[in-house]
Amino acid sequence: MKFAIQINEGPYQHQASDSAYQFTKAALEKGHEVFRVFFYHDGVGNGTRLTTPPQDDRHIVNRWAELAEQHNLDMVVCVAAAQRRGLVDDGEAERNQKDATNLHPKFRISGLGQLIEAAVQSERLVVFGD
């Protein structure tokens, strides 16, 4: 089956990203396809490369990045949600005159159209959040 994944909550505060990760990993290992993982609302916080959890805790951002590396996952952070919450890549830094970037290179910033497209193209949209 072809899945689209939407994550609506930030890391560590909420289990949504953990559950989405476990679901996505299990689906891929069973041979299913994941068309896209879309991060929305505070979920955009899953994409910051500056995350530094304690050493005995899971690294939610790197864990997503490793899964993306293994399975060539498309991980998209919503641009409007990202701008509100200070998630910045090179393009956004230039466009909005910011002096730093924090987006992990395995993620990309794009528009809400990517979420709609993922829902259209996939057989199931699975939303993680409250």
Active site residues: 78
Q: Which is nearer to another protein, 19 or 129 (CB)?
A: 129
Amino acid identity of residue 40, one-letter, is Y
How many angstroms separate the CA atoms of 35 and 98, rounded?
31
30 alpha-carbon distance from chain centroid = 21
Pick the closer one to another protein by CB: 49 or 85. 85
Binding pattern for the stretch 78-107 against another protein, x by CB under 8 A and - elsewhere: --xx--x-----------------------
**Closer to another protein by Cβ: residue 66 or 117:** 117
| 107/85 Cα distance (integer angstroms) | 16
Site string for another protein, 8-37 (x = CB under 8 A): x-----------------------------
Binding piece for another protein, criterion CB under 8 A, among 14-22, 65-73, 89-97, 109-117: 109-117
- Contacts to another protein by CB under 8 A: 6, 8, 40-41, 80-81, 84, 111-113, 115-117, 119-121, 125, 127, 129
